Amino acid sequence: MRRSLFRKNLVTALLLAPATLWLVVFLVLPFVAIAVFSVGERAPEGGYQAALTFAQYANLPARATAFWNTMVLAPAGALACLLVAYPVAYYLALRAPQRWRLILLALIVIPFWTSLLMRTYAWMYILGGRGIPALLAYVGIEDLRLINTPGAVLLGIVYGYLPLMILPIYVSLERLDRRLLEASADLGATPLSTFLGVTLRLSLPGVMTGFSLVMILLLGEYLIPTLLGGGKVFFIGNALVDLFLQSRNWPFGSAIAITLVLVSVVVLIVANRISTRLSGARRVDLI
Amino acid sequence: MPKSYRDGLPITPDKFVDQLMRLKRGSISRRDFLGLTGLGVATAVMARELGIMPTPAFAAENLGDRMSIATWPNYHDPQTFENFKAETGVAVEVNVFGSNEEMLAKLQAGGSGWSLFVPTNYTISTYKKLGIIEALDMAKLGNFDGKSEDARFTAEGTIDGTIYAVPKNWGTTGFAVNTKKLAKPMSSWKEFWDTAMAEGDGRAMVHDYQLTTIGNALKYYGYSFNSLKQDELAKAEELLLKVKPHLFAVSSDYQPGMRAGDAWMTMCWTNDGAQLHRDVPEIAYVLGKEGGEIWTDFYAIPKDAPNKPAGYALLNYLMNPKVAVKEHLANGAPSTDARVNALLPKEVLDNPILYPAADLLKPLEFGAAATLTDPGRAELMARFKSA
């Protein structure tokens, strides 16, 4: 009895070992290093020199604009994604013919096989002067500028993160018990109130999962604003890149990174709470 | 001279994607990526096969079969590295950067893996101070001839009589203008900034680079390009913040925008100016009459270079005037070496983009080492970019 328990524990330990090792080496240790850097000082020639000071954290307001821009971009981008993704997920889960469903899902996932970097760079050329504006010039719309506008950034974000939003919503809609919809109709609800009262409500866990997933990734986004926004709008991601690669102020960059992680955790917790409350469920899966 | 330096580029789609993925796995910065895709400097010679036939000239030392160089976008004739590989069996992997700061950051972090890199004049003293670069063993660089070099451009490679870096080419930082879109002739930084806020609204680009963007804003008021004075930097900041909403982009990857006609005016380095003008004749290159930057890019070898013999061999190869002349034809930057100038065609030497008139060169300043590490300028740049 005791022996088999020991064996069970051993198996569990062995199964968990690779993941634990991986996380310790590539997540915990770097995080500790960043935490140590963040209470240090910038060496005269850049980089890090040992110290114990909270000056870097006190200096955080110097990047207030970047934090602010990110706090606006992340929810706004996630919301735009949601508005586009929900109808798609709805169609896939409730309306699409069964035999097409798998193919349609695959079509949504396939772009993920190519790096986001490359797909975003492709948009640079599609929106650039030789792309859509050149086509529009044929029909008389001259000198239209699409690239390096807020619209281009939004488009890039929705395009890049759409699958991450569609999939969780699809999953929660797919699990929806169709009999509830019939019951709602039988009890005299209009299609709209059935949608709002039953379908939407029951898919909220998926919505919140998709929303927090996209939002957390957007908190660290810097590529899309740089490539499609012309580097004119500064996000926390951009601040980090510049601090580590340009001014080589590693301690200040580390302090910002730590703050960003804390903010992300808070966002997760809040999203989880809201989701639990709205859906009335006891537990919500956040990927 | 071929129509485009891209002719005969050895990159295939497969190799390109491969290079991209390699970057993605590593610590990609956006400029790595921009440099690589921007104009296909993905030229990166990603030779995969092992080279096996060192020629007698290099046979004395084991060069291995690969090495890595860190350099600038659109900066080499891809054929140079192919030829080097054919002669020595060493495949050269090319890493492209957008700023000296970034190169320094990689070298400071350690383990860059480069056996040769291309720092700009004003950074060399810092590299030496930090003990990151080698004092060059000139016995291994027989092709270098100090006497044929123009001392104005080589000075900063030598510190206390020791040579730490040898020059690749020099150049200037001016601005490129699409004269079809902005017909009014311009000749000063004052006009550059004023136009950016008027006729060029939404169409002008500045570098994502503190040295030149702040430096050329300082020139608006006639201050030194390298100023670290609080009050002067405050004036430059005021101008930058005023111009910011009118800009097309803050980016050092300006060739795609200029070529596509989205951007009409941009801060620009000599070699990019020459390439743009060559392919799009209405793009002119202008030096601000108030001054601005003159620079020399050098070759140096990191102390932790994993393949020093190959680093030296490639450097020596590049110092061969017959090889160097092809590099200059490809990247469009003027040479510091009289032996190379003697081999360059007349139309290159007469090209005012490459070899500007003496009175335009006179007010130009070399970048100062202090700007590289000055926290004040770094924070100013961050405020400008986040405004």
3-state secondary structure A158-169: HHHHHHHHHHHH
Structure token digits, residue B244: 């910011």
Report whether B215 contacts B225 (CB < 8 A).
yes
Structure tokens at B85: 């590989």
> Containing domain of residue B289, as a range?
171-294+355-386
pLDDT tens-place string over residues B285-317: 999 999 999 999 999 999 999 999 999 999 999
Mean model confidence pLDDT for chain A: 88
Kindly state the average pLDDT of the residues A8-33.
Answer: 92
B6 falls in which pLDDT band (50, 70, 90)? very low
CB contact at 8 A, B112 and B72: no
Q: In sequence order, which residues have a C-beta less than 8 Å from that of residue B364 and are 6 or more positions away? A: B172, B287, B291, B292, B293, B294
Can you state the angle between helices B308-318 and B321-331, rounded to 10 degrees? 80
Of B99, B130, B260, the CB nearest to A246: B99
Q: Cα(B34)–Cα(B71) distance, rounded to whole angstroms?
A: 13
User: Does a structural domain hold residue B374?
Assistant: yes
Please give the pLDDT value at position A1.
Answer: 55
Beta-carbon count within 10 A of A134 CB: 13
Nearest CB partner across the interface for A245, out of B29, B37, B385: B29
* CA-wise closest residue to B118 among B102, B140, B106, B103: B103
- Residues of chain B in contact with residue A129, where contact means CB-CB under 8 angstroms, are 257, 260-262
Give domain status of residue B255, yes or no.
yes
Distance CA(A267)–CA(A217), nearest Å, equals: 12
Set of chain A residues whose Cβ sits within 8 Å of the Cβ of B247: 230, 232
Neighbouring-strand partners of residue B169: B297
- Beta B166-178 vs B292-299: how paired, if at all? antiparallel
Determine whether the interchain pair B382/A242 forms a contact, defined as Cβ–Cβ distance below 8 Å. yes
Locate tokens 């934090």: which residue? A67
Q: Which two three-digit tokens encode residue A197?
A: 């009262």
Cα–Cα distance measured from residue B14 to residue B3, given in angstroms and rounded to the nearest whole number:
25
Residue A4 near chain B (CB below 8 Å) = no
- Per-residue pLDDT at B250: 94
Of the pLDDT bands very low, low, confident and very high (cuts 50, 70, 90), residue A286 is: very low
Is the model's pLDDT at B7 over the cut of 60? Answer: no
pTM: 0.82
Residues B145 and B34 in one domain: yes
Q: What confidence category does residue B149 fall into, taking pLDDT thresholds of 50, 70 and 90?
A: very high
Instruction: Report the chain A residue with the minimal C-alpha distance to residue B370.
Output: A45
- Which residues of chain B neighbour A124 with C-beta distances below 8 Å? 256
- If DSSP codes are grouped into helix, strand and coil, which group holds residue A64? helix
Q: Give how far A32 is from chain B: nearest CA, Å.
A: 17
With an 8 Å Cβ cutoff, are B373 and A230 in contact?
no
Task: Assess whether B186 and B65 both reside in one domain.
Answer: no
Domain identity same for B226 and B278: yes
Same domain, B121 and B245: no
Q: Return the DSSP state at A112.
A: G
B166 and B207 share a domain? no
Pairing relationship of beta strands B116-117 and B166-178 according to DSSP bridges: unpaired
Q: Does residue B6 lie within any of the structural domains?
A: no
Number of domains present in the structure of chain B: 2
Q: Which residues of B touch A238 (CB under 8 A)?
A: 385
B381 shares a domain with B321: no
Closest Cα of chain A to B136: distance in Å? 23
**b/e per residue A176-213 (b: at least 16 CB within 10 A):** beeeebeebeeeebeeeebbeebbeebbbbbbbbbbbb
Give residue-wise pLDDT tens across range B230-252: 999 999 999 999 999 999 999 98
- Between CA A261 and CA A258 the distance in angstroms is 5
For position B16, what pLDDT does the model report? 54
The structure tokens listed for B191 are 């006009």
Question: Could you report the per-residue pLDDT of A214-254, keeping only the tens digit for each?
Answer: 998 999 898 898 899 998 888 999 999 999 988 889 999 99
Predicted local distance difference test score (pLDDT) of residue A144: 80
B324: its two tokens: 């160097």
Asked whether the beta carbons of B44 and B70 are under 8 A apart, the reply is no
- Using pLDDT thresholds of 50, 70 and 90, give the confidence band for residue B171: very high
Q: CA of B132 to nearest chain A CA: how many angstroms apart?
A: 12
Strand B265-269, strand B166-178: pairing: antiparallel
The domain that holds B24 is classified in CATH as: 3.40.190.10
Please write down the HEC assignment for all residues of chain B. Answer: CCCCCCCCCCCCHHHHHHHHHHHHHCCCCHHHHHHHHHCCHHHCCCCCCCCCCCCHHHCCCCCCCEEEEEECCCCCCHHHHHHHHHHHCCEEEEEECCCHHHHHHHHHHCCCCCCEECCEHHHHHHHHHCCCECCCCHHHCCCCCHHHECHHHHHHHEECCEECCEEEEEEEEEEEEECCCCCCCCCCHHHHHHHHCCCCCCCEEECCCHHHHHHHHHHHCCCCCCCCCHHHHHHHHHHHHHHHHHEEEECCCCHHHHHHCCCCEEEEEHHHHHHHHHHCCCEEEECCCCCEEEEEEEEECECCCCCHHHHHHHHHHHCCHHHHHHHHHHHCCCCCEHHHHHHCCHHHHCCCCCCCCHHHHCCEEECCHHHHHCHHHHHHHHHHHHC
CA A237, chain centre distance (Å): 13
Amino acid code (one letter) for A168: P
pLDDT at B11: 54
Mean pLDDT of B345-354: 90
Residues in B lying within 8 Å of A, measured between beta carbons? 20-21, 24, 28-30, 33, 37, 99, 101-102, 104-105, 108-109, 126, 129-130, 202, 205, 208, 210, 244, 247-251, 256-257, 260-262, 373, 375, 378-379, 381-382, 385-387
b or e along B298-317 (b: 16 or more beta carbons within 10 Å of the residue's beta carbon)?
bbbbbebbbbbbbbbbbbbb
- Determine contact: A121 vs chain B, CB below 8 A: yes
The pLDDT-based confidence of A280 (bands split at 50, 70, 90) is low
CA distance A80 to A160: 12
Does residue B228 belong to any structural domain of this protein? yes
The confidence score (pLDDT) of residue B167 equals: 95
Separation in Å, CA of A241 to nearest CA in chain B: 8
- Phi and psi (nearest 5°) for A151? -60, -40
User: CA B214, CA B209: separation in Å to the nearest integer?
Assistant: 8
B138 and B190 share one domain: no
CA dist., res. A227 & res. A204, Å (int): 33
Query: Between A and B, how many residue pairs show a Cβ–Cβ distance under 8 A?
Result: 113
In whole angstroms, give the CA distance from residue B23 to residue B125: 29
Please report whether residue B5 resides in a domain: no
pLDDT of residue B21: 54
Residue B2 in domain: no
Is there a contact between A276 and A282 (Cβ–Cβ < 8 Å)? yes
The per-residue pLDDT of chain B, averaged, comes to: 86
CB contact under 8 A, B30 and A222: yes
The verdict on a CB contact (< 8 Å) between A227 and B250 is: no
Q: Does A47 touch chain B (CB under 8 A)?
A: yes
Task: Let me know whether B164 and B24 are in one domain.
Answer: yes
Asked if residues B364 and B291 have their Cβ atoms less than 8 Å apart, the reply is: yes
Please, which residues bridge with residue B284 across strands? Answer: B177
B251 and B197 share one domain:
yes
Which of A144, A244, A246, A249 to mutate to probe the B interface, most B CBs <10 Å?
Answer: A246
What residue has token string 């056996």? B115
Q: Cβ A63–B386 below 8 Å, yes or no?
A: yes
| B152 and B213 within one domain | no
Instruction: Report DSSP state, residue A31.
Output: H
Which residues of chain B does A254 touch, with a Cβ-Cβ cutoff of 8 Å? Answer: none
pLDDT (0 to 100) of residue B109: 86
Residue corresponding to tokens 């070399």: B366
Q: pLDDT tens-digit profile of B172-188?
A: 999 999 999 999 999 99
A117 to B28: CB separation less than 8 angstroms, yes or no: yes
**Are B136 and B269 in the same domain?**
no
Residue B38: its pLDDT value, please?
Answer: 37
Among A95-99, B285-289, B373-377, which range has the highest average pLDDT?
B285-289
Distance from CA of B380 to the nearest CA of A (A): 10
Sorted by where each begins, the domain ranges of chain A are: 63-116+145-279
| Pairing mode, strands B158-159 and B162-163 | antiparallel
Write the residue in A69, A121, A248 that is nearest to B101 by C-beta.
A248
Neighbours of B14 (CB within 10 A): 9
Query: Is the pLDDT assigned to residue B47 strictly greater than 60?
Result: no
Does residue B4 lie within any of the structural domains? Answer: no
Angle between helices B13-25 and B30-38 (to 10 degrees): 170
Nearest by CB: B108 against A46, A128, A129: A46
Whether A68 has a pLDDT exceeding 70, the answer reads yes
Higher-pLDDT residue of A30, B40: A30
Alpha helices per DSSP H over chain A: 2-23, 29-38, 55-58, 64-90, 98-109, 116-127, 132-138, 150-174, 178-186, 191-194, 200-219, 223-229, 236-241, 250-279
> Of B59-68, B139-148, B282-291, which gets the smallest average pLDDT?
B59-68
Name the class of domain A63-116+145-279.
mainly alpha
Q: Residue A30 above 90 pLDDT?
A: yes
* Predicted local distance difference test score (pLDDT) of residue B29: 42
Q: Do B378 and A47 touch (CB under 8 A)?
A: no
Please say if the pLDDT value at position B253 is more than 70: yes
**CA B23, CA B41: separation in Å to the nearest integer?**
13
Q: Is B257 in the same domain as B370? A: yes
The region of weakest confidence among A1-10, A66-75, B70-79, B207-216 is A1-10
Q: Give A250 to chain B, closest Cα distance, Å.
A: 10
- Closest Cα of chain B to A156: distance in Å? 16
- Per the domain annotation, does B3 fall within a domain? no
Q: Are B234 and B250 in contact (CB under 8 A)?
A: no
